[in-house]
Chains A and B, each alone.
Chain A
């Protein structure tokens, strides 16, 4: 019984360690001072108003959302067929290919970004956004393939065969029978990939440039020059935004089921 007590107190302390910083961040974001002080002497929403009106962050947010949408869509378009083929057919080099498709998870994001930067420089002038978009698509692809594969393998193949034997073409079967049945898996993959892209720092770090930077990179750049509660307020907004997305996803899809064993590119 005594051991249980020890474990329980470690759990509680761990949770204070894990969640406490968020709470402190929230409270200090409502301060009115121009330096970050905890606890604030007076409360206001001044910094929230300020950060929401800063063009720098407005642009970065737009870049982030546009980037996440584009790269997630393209990763889905090339990832879903690959996941489908590896689930349903056997072909030459399948094992090696599956390993290759997951390899961007093992390679550090920082190095993916760095190598892309060096590679693009070979071609002289290249669009910064295009670089970011390619980098993000690379890291999203393994998640898409893994999550969609998992939900395809749970789907009964005999339904598909029934459609084919009744005369539907393979393509028609895929769109009318398979896809609607793995809808929740594809949606979960979309949301996971979207959040991964929004949060990414390592891949974007080397690929961002003047004027075109996703939000996390813009925040890091800002912090190099200024130390005021702007970032505190922005972080609070982002955390609330994430809680909202995760809650919606959890309620509609049971997102946590798709997350086991996931290597997150959070750094």
Chain B
């Protein structure tokens, strides 16, 4: 009887399982194998060629640097914001949260394009600076690392704030006051009570923003262009422009492994108690 139930459950699960094995797992394994094949045999050729290319190394470390800075800025802006939001009255908080979620729902092309309007040659910033006679010629803001960082920060900021707010609003009411009334200083109450309880949100938000930034395509494509490549735009260029499929598979394997490693590494910081 038990075996029968188990069989029947498997029947329910099987279509989804089969679909993912066929179209998700096998293609991933396929590009993994493909990255080790050159001239019909097994070789590390594509890896050697990719890693010995100084442009690739620059792009790889730039991607990590940009994603790290975006995460850092998201924490710097997100943590204070989340503290304020978590202490708001419920209906006010719900309104703010729905605004944040709304930005998350808007198409990334539309969101990134807005920065084009602001950063372009005749964009808001250049108009403003030249109207104050600070500059004579339009300054170049687009197609720089800074432009990508600003774009990614605006794109992924909600993914930092949402987990932080939900961690902070689960804080039992009055714990901070209790610590204070027992003689802890304001900063001590924060670092010993509030902060440790919010680490789970911080780790989740950090993981989402970091891995989101390092794999994002739209923002580096629009705001970085061909000038400032990241791993994602490099992958596109290698495959769809240069048709260097061997190199492209290596870039995608490197990107995949980096993402998984980051996920694992940040997971270590998760508090053990919960």
Contacts of B222 on A, CB cut-off 8 Å? 220, 223
* Cβ contacts under 8 Å, A234 to chain B: 110
- Interface bits B154-181 vs A (CB < 8 Å: 1, else 0): 1111110011001000000000000000
Of chain A, the residue at the smallest CB distance from B28 is A115
Q: Taking the complex as formed, is A70 at the interface, i.e. its CB lies under 8 A from any CB of chain B?
A: no
Chain B residues near A11 (CB-CB < 8 A): 80-81, 84-85
Q: Which residue of B lies closest to A216 (CB)?
A: B109
Among A15, A107, A264, point to the contact of B159 (Cβ < 8 A).
A264
B232 within 8 A of A: yes
Assuming the contacts A91-B10, A118-B249, asked whether A261 and B115 have C-beta atoms less than 8 A apart, the reply is: no
Known: A11-B81, A111-B256, A219-B109. A85 touches B9 (CB 8 A): yes
Docked complex: B2-22 residues within 8 A CB-CB of A:
5-6, 8-10, 12-13, 15-17, 19-20
Beta-carbon contacts under 8 Å, A237-267 to B = 238-239, 242-243, 245-246, 250, 255-256, 259-261, 263-264, 266-267
Which residues of chain B are within 8 angstroms of A45 by Cβ–Cβ distance? none
Q: How far, in angstroms, from A119 to B32 measured CA to CA in the complex?
A: 11
Among A35, A89, A215, which residue has its beta carbon within 8 angstroms of that of B5? A89
With A201-B217, A238-B110 known as contacts, the answer to whether A246 contacts B105 (CB < 8 A) is yes
In this complex, the interface size class of chain A, counting residues with CB under 8 Å from chain B, is 35 or more
- With a cutoff of 8 Å between Cβ atoms, the chain B residues found around residue A239 in the complex are 106-107, 110
Q: Does B24 touch A at the CB level, under 8 Å?
A: yes
**Stretch of B40-48, B53-61, B119-127, B191-199 lying at the A interface:** B119-127
Q: Is A116 an interface residue (CB 8 A)?
A: yes
Tell me the B residues contacting A by CB distance below 8 Å.
5-6, 8-10, 12-13, 15-17, 19-20, 23-24, 26-28, 30-31, 34, 77-78, 80-81, 83-85, 94, 97-111, 113-118, 120, 122-124, 127, 153-159, 162-163, 166, 186, 204, 208, 211-212, 215-219, 221-222, 232, 235-236, 239-240, 245, 248-249, 252, 255-256, 259-260, 263
In the A-B complex, list the 10 residue pairs whose CB atoms are closest, starting with the nearest: A267-B216, A235-B110, A21-B114, A108-B215, A119-B27, A115-B27, A85-B12, A89-B9, A81-B12, A82-B16
A-B contacts besides A92-B10, A235-B110, 20 pairs, CB < 8 Å: A13-B77, A14-B78, A21-B154, A24-B118, A37-B122, A38-B122, A97-B17, A106-B260, A110-B235, A111-B28, A111-B255, A115-B31, A202-B215, A216-B108, A216-B218, A235-B114, A239-B110, A243-B102, A246-B105, A260-B162
